[in-house]
Structure 1
């Protein structure tokens, strides 16, 4: 006999249609929030104002759902809106007092997440503030991230292992003369868990090792790809820039300062599980109180990391559901027109990109007849990615609509 706990655990994966619906609803809101944030990214606009709009949109949209159910359903921001510019790698979501603005030509990395009942959808996208196609090394680094994401999407499938993805994305980045940024992890997602134990390393080296893991049907992953024209070694320049934290639920400590106790009580009440931004707390008290909470490991910080000035950094992150009929990428946004200086010639990478992401339907899934000599794919199969110089733009046409 299964215990109640086991039964609940069993029901809360993708075998439950209700769970799939919640993931897809969260993804739809995340995609729309991303679209809104991109439309707000204009020269001379304050970054904090755009981050606030992204978070408010998610809160508002999720607040309209499941209003009339008896059981209270948690929902809202799963990861605060971040806008990291140029050589800043990630997690820049400044406090209200910050005056930083965007400038023409900035390479902007947007990162955000939404959850419904703890079922999380995250997305990150890179956009350059300019008219016309993105060219040169800026185009290379975005194409490297996008192509690596497309390869990862095809290799995160039942039977494949996490190390297969790590090796492949590094090979893709190298073909654009770029590096995958070290220290970035792609995590399995579970209900109320944004950083599950099954992970994919971005770069394997002696300092960072993870357990070998195999992908399985009905799992959900957040695939996180960050590429750089520099060394790919992130640096922490200023701890004061860190504003995003997550409650470490397994840690306890009796805080000494009154401000710390006040802030920690507010965090426990408002953000017991999901990452949050210090903007959402009372700012003066937060500055004082957060330090003691972090020093005693009650909070896990998400530091703002940087590459060297002058280096370009691109970020693409998506959420994928490993459904019985194949992989379903539920968060994405079309790229700008890219004209990279490099093209993909490597046969192994081309073979990965040609893989379908849906499995053939059992039974009588007949192939459609095309013109003579045409190879027509099963509609359940994914469209392979175009790998020409302007492949990223061609790919855009195949994924313009965020997946439902």
Structure 2
């Protein structure tokens, strides 16, 4: 009798798309953690608070919160943790900023009452990232938040309406959420996706209304498992040949970023150490022992997600170890950029999921920019095209059940 070969069990392929309810749940669970941590950092962002301490606090909370969930063996989770390290960018700093305690100048930087500060952070569950970013006004040491200046109010209002416009212009043509008679005319427009030129033209109208500028090359990316910068992207105020690619579609997750400036919106590289980095996916033979040690730790701890040098086991060694990795293009560093005119900048970041019924914001600024801006500004949007788009609902209205 011939021997029967032991058949190897087939590896079960996991569906990581948004068609899998588990994927959506993991996105939303990561989002809930990011939102909770954001609130805690906003509370601590008062006069005299050091930027380093806020970043360290945020990362510690992200680690603690992600460690509490998905510990059952019944649910398959490969990894969980920080998708984007905590960053605190005051006043004119445009990009996410994450100073180090081992740099005396950086460690001494603190917040001041009344200035705008941008906070950004993110968690991931099983590689599904949920990032959130907000702009707030720094409160006094006693916790009292001053009213915004007229310039700050204009900036915050412009940021709010620009973000709301971008959401609506990202709705795929197949998703028809229009239900109000006032917005009926938008159904024809929705048959085709908005082009990058159309998006930039409309957003610029809002910026001009409030006397502010779109920050150059602010990019909204599609999100995927283990990736916060997928192939599809929408570039606002593009510079240096950078262009939008692809259109948002149903069953996709996106990280929506909007940034505006009270100045020109042009960026310049600041003389601050780039402390945020991420793997590029390229290969290179490292020569130095410290470089090999650092890269090995990065690959093990962070995968393809961005990280801060302070997250590595030895901050001082890491500073040296990443140099060869950056030269060999194993790691890409994020330069710290500021507003060319030195004016204040606002920036918000939301994570959205696009469904057949519209857009779900699973993360968004915890404090409404409209509420923060108050009634200080005397400017209002009057452009009919902008107002019509703002009327479009983000989701289809669910019919109310009739009570007997």
Q: Under TM normalisation by the shorter chain, which class is it?
A: 0.7 to 0.9
Q: How many residues align?
A: 357
The separation in 1 between residues aligned to 2:11 and 2:212, in whole angstroms, is 46
Q: CA deviation at 1:214?
A: 2.2
Q: CA deviation at 1:367?
A: 9.7
Which of 215, 219, 234 aligns to 2:252? It is 219
Which of 255, 259, 262 aligns to 2:290? It is 259
CA gap of 1:347–1:33, structure 2 versus 1, over 3 A, is same
- Residue 344 in structure 1 maps to residue 377 in structure 2: no
The separation in 1 between residues aligned to 2:329 and 2:96, in whole angstroms, is 19
Listed as ranges, the matches of 1:120-199 within 5 Å are 120-130=129-139, 131-159=145-173, 160-161=193-194, 163=196, 164-199=198-233
Max Rg structure: 2
The separation in 1 between residues aligned to 2:236 and 2:265, in whole angstroms, is 10
Question: For the Cα contact (< 8 Å) 2:35–2:363, is it kept in 1?
Answer: yes
The separation in 2 between residues aligned to 1:205 and 1:103, in whole angstroms, is 32
The separation in 2 between residues aligned to 1:285 and 1:220, in whole angstroms, is 36
Question: For the Cα contact (< 8 Å) 1:44–1:103, is it kept in 2?
Answer: yes
3-state SS, counterpart of residue 330 of structure 1: strand
Indicate the residue corresponding to 1:291 in structure 2: 323
Structure 1, unpaired ranges of 5+: 369-404
Indicate the residue corresponding to 1:381 in structure 2: none
Q: CA deviation at 1:347?
A: 1.2
Indicate the residue corresponding to 1:316 in structure 2: 348
Q: CA deviation at 1:309?
A: 5.5
Cα shift readout 1:266-316 (whole Å, capped 9, x = no counterpart):
111111221110001212211111111111111111221101354110001
The separation in 1 between residues aligned to 2:240 and 2:87, in whole angstroms, is 30
Question: For the Cα contact (< 8 Å) 2:277–2:333, is it kept in 1?
Answer: yes
Question: For the Cα contact (< 8 Å) 2:93–2:337, is it kept in 1?
Answer: yes
Indicate the residue corresponding to 1:47 in structure 2: 51
The separation in 2 between residues aligned to 1:138 and 1:79, in whole angstroms, is 27
The separation in 2 between residues aligned to 1:265 and 1:142, in whole angstroms, is 42
| Root mean square deviation, CA, Å | 2.0
Question: For the Cα contact (< 8 Å) 1:162–1:215, is it kept in 2?
Answer: no
Question: For the Cα contact (< 8 Å) 2:221–2:233, is it kept in 1?
Answer: yes
Structure 2, unpaired ranges of 5+: 1-9, 140-144, 174-192
Which of 109, 116, 121 aligns to 2:125? It is 116
The separation in 1 between residues aligned to 2:127 and 2:201, in whole angstroms, is 31
Cα shift readout 1:218-275 (whole Å, capped 9, x = no counterpart):
111111001001111111122x4210100112x1111122211111111111112211
Indicate the residue corresponding to 2:113 in structure 1: 104
The separation in 2 between residues aligned to 1:295 and 1:53, in whole angstroms, is 31
3-state SS, counterpart of residue 363 of structure 2: coil
CA gap of 1:72–1:325, structure 2 versus 1, over 3 A, is closer
Indicate the residue corresponding to 1:334 in structure 2: 367
**Which stretch shifts more, 127-136 or 151-160?**
127-136
Indicate the residue corresponding to 1:389 in structure 2: none
The separation in 2 between residues aligned to 1:104 and 1:234, in whole angstroms, is 25
Question: For the Cα contact (< 8 Å) 2:350–2:363, is it kept in 1?
Answer: yes
Question: For the Cα contact (< 8 Å) 2:114–2:148, is it kept in 1?
Answer: no
3-state SS, counterpart of residue 90 of structure 1: coil
The separation in 2 between residues aligned to 1:142 and 1:279, in whole angstroms, is 31
Cα shift readout 1:91-146 (whole Å, capped 9, x = no counterpart):
21111232211111221000111111111111111011142432311111111111
3-state SS, counterpart of residue 94 of structure 2: strand
Cα shift readout 1:145-193 (whole Å, capped 9, x = no counterpart):
1111111111211122451433332222222111111122100001111
Which of 45, 52, 62 aligns to 1:58? It is 62
